[in-house]
Amino acid sequence: MGVPGRKGRCSCSAPSDKDHLLLLLILFLPMLLPMVESRTLNYTRHTQTSTLRLQRITRHLDKINKPPSADGDVIDCVHKRKQLALDHPLLKNHKIQKMPTEMPRGMMKVNEGDEGESMAWQTWHLNGTRCPKGTVPIRRSTVHDVLRAKSLYDFGKKRSRLVPLSRRNDAPDVLSANGHEHAIAYTGSSQEMYGAKATINVWDPSIQVMNEFSLSQLWILSGSFDGTDLNSIEAGWQVSPELYGDSRPRLFTYWTSDSYRATGCYNLLCAGFIQTNSRIAIGAAISPVSSYGSNQYDITILIWKDPKVGNWWMSFGDKTLVGYWPAELFTHLAEHATMVEWGGEVVNSRSNGQHTFTQMGSGHFAEDGFGKASYFRNLQIVDMDNSLSSVQSISTLAENSNCYDIKSFYSNEWGTYFYYGGPGNNPQCP
């Protein structure tokens, strides 16, 4: 202790440049933080939550997470017979189908447990994580994931699509009254279809606000587009800060049997989709992604109906089975599809009174072509004979081609293909 009345001695040296810098940061950091935050998406902020709401969320997560544990993008290895899908009331007596009874003709032969090519493109494998045979990898959901959603009921669901655009009778399910915008190709209802396939290159589009998303996917559809009975099976990649808490592209699936009203969800966030693969985590990040004017990376997705059992199977790449949607989940799709769509979708919330800057695909228009625009290539459908065949003719649609557009082509190497996407807000898209 110092002696009263005397100056204390200090063994400190004169302040260095680092000390001055640290002092300035301490003084000015409170003023800088709001500026930084305003330029980035805030994935974790949410309003104060009541104890009752947290209890409801926790109970819901206890059902989804088996077993529940810590926060973060953690992959749990869950026994395949304990997965949430089998909690669905229509699947109480469901026996898991190990393999499809038949592969579509034209598809490479698949052997049970053939999962090698699925590992190179999902980042959760990079630290050496593996799930043993007999289990399925499931991305753990957290309280923060739910709190980013509008409500517990909305967690993991697409918002209902209620008001259809004026369109031809054979036009696809393009409904934009709630801000959804598309650039898609489709093949119409003149024939029965039993599946679809495409190769899609992967990008990391910029998202302007947290409750918007950008995705690229294929749709398998049946039912009425302007009613409440639309059946849809969907898969592809998406960037959704609200759903995942970040801006990384992720593999996703979706299904509904009532026009997105009460049934279905993304990934494995509700009972329904049955996973059989122990290496692919639905909802996990994809890496690497395509770069403008440089390397292009794509994924191949096939969805088809087992001709004997009726379940809708999904495969990745040439021969990696992921799992299936049981036939019991559907009404119209219990029989066949009447339309297939491929392409991009974004949410335009007009949060500041103008069109969103959220990008579709690479953020560049179709006319920019290979290496710059996003693409779907080798479009195929599965016919009533369970054969894969190249799509000979497609229609294309974009609600606002000044914001996002699409152009289709044909070549011997890529078959039927198209470029699509765009930047959103620009001088022609205010």
Q: Residue 388 falls within a domain, yes or no?
A: yes
**Which of the four pLDDT bands, split at 50, 70 and 90, describes residue 258?**
very high
Average pLDDT, the chain: 84
| pLDDT tens, residue by residue, 268-286 | 999 999 999 999 999 999 9
Mean pLDDT of 162-176: 40
Mean pLDDT of 64-70: 46
Whether residue 161 has pLDDT greater than 60: no
The confidence score (pLDDT) of residue 13 equals 43
**Which of the four pLDDT bands, split at 50, 70 and 90, describes residue 57?**
confident
The confidence score (pLDDT) of residue 123 equals 81
Q: Residue 294 falls within a domain, yes or no?
A: yes
Most confident of 26-35, 43-52, 191-200: 191-200
Helix (H) or strand (E) holding 348: none
**Which of the four pLDDT bands, split at 50, 70 and 90, describes residue 261?**
very high
**Which of the four pLDDT bands, split at 50, 70 and 90, describes residue 121?**
confident
Task: Give the number of domains in the chain.
Answer: 1
Q: Is the dihedral of CA 336, 341, 347, 353 positive or negative?
A: negative
Cβ neighbours of 110 (radius 10 Å): 17
Whether residue 173 has pLDDT greater than 60: no
User: Computed over its alpha carbons, how large is the radius of gyration of the chain?
Assistant: 24
User: Over pLDDT 90: what percentage of the chain?
Assistant: 65
Of 233, 234, 225, the residue nearest 259 (C-alpha):
225
Q: Residue 211 falls within a domain, yes or no?
A: yes
Mean pLDDT of 16-39: 46
User: Over pLDDT 70: what percentage of the chain?
Assistant: 79
Write the DSSP symbol of residue 414: T
The confidence score (pLDDT) of residue 254 equals 98
Three-state DSSP string of 122-139: EHHHCCCCCCCCCEEEEE
Q: Which two tokens stand for residue 22?
A: 């640290």
Q: Residue 45 falls within a domain, yes or no?
A: no
**Which of the four pLDDT bands, split at 50, 70 and 90, describes residue 381?**
very high
**Which of the four pLDDT bands, split at 50, 70 and 90, describes residue 42?**
low
Give the span between the Cα atoms of 282 and 302, in whole angstroms: 15
Give the span between the Cα atoms of 148 and 151, in whole angstroms: 8
Three-state DSSP string of 160-211: CCCCCCCCCCCCCCCCCCCCEEEEEEEECCCCCECEEEEEEECCCCCCCCCC
User: Would you say the pTM of this structure is higher than 0.85?
Assistant: no
For residue 397, give Cα distances in angstroms to 171, 234, 250, 401.
9, 18, 25, 9
| Contact (Cβ atoms closer than 8 angstroms) between residue 421 and residue 373 | yes
Q: Residue 111 falls within a domain, yes or no?
A: no
Domain enclosing residue 91, as ranges:
51-106+120-162+172-422
The confidence score (pLDDT) of residue 204 equals 97
Mean pLDDT of 362-390: 97
Q: Residues 318-329, buried b or exposed e (16+ Cβ, 10 A)?
A: ebbbbbbbbbbb
Higher pLDDT pick, 380 / 46: 380
Whether residue 14 has pLDDT greater than 50: no
| pLDDT tens, residue by residue, 200-246 | 999 999 999 999 999 999 999 999 888 899 999 999 999 999 999 99
Whether residue 17 has pLDDT greater than 60: no
Give the span between the Cα atoms of 188 and 198, in whole angstroms: 17
Q: Residue 114 falls within a domain, yes or no?
A: no
Of 275, 281, 315, the residue nearest 299 (C-alpha):
315
Whether residue 30 has pLDDT greater than 70: no
**Which of the four pLDDT bands, split at 50, 70 and 90, describes residue 110?**
low
Give the span between the Cα atoms of 216 and 343, in whole angstroms: 6
Lowest mean pLDDT among 56-70, 212-226, 307-321: 56-70
Q: Which residues are catalytic?
A: 234, 345
DSSP 87-103: GSGGGTTPPPPSS-S-P
Whether residue 12 has pLDDT greater than 50: no
Q: Residue 302 falls within a domain, yes or no?
A: yes
Mean pLDDT of 139-157: 91
Q: Residue 427 falls within a domain, yes or no?
A: no
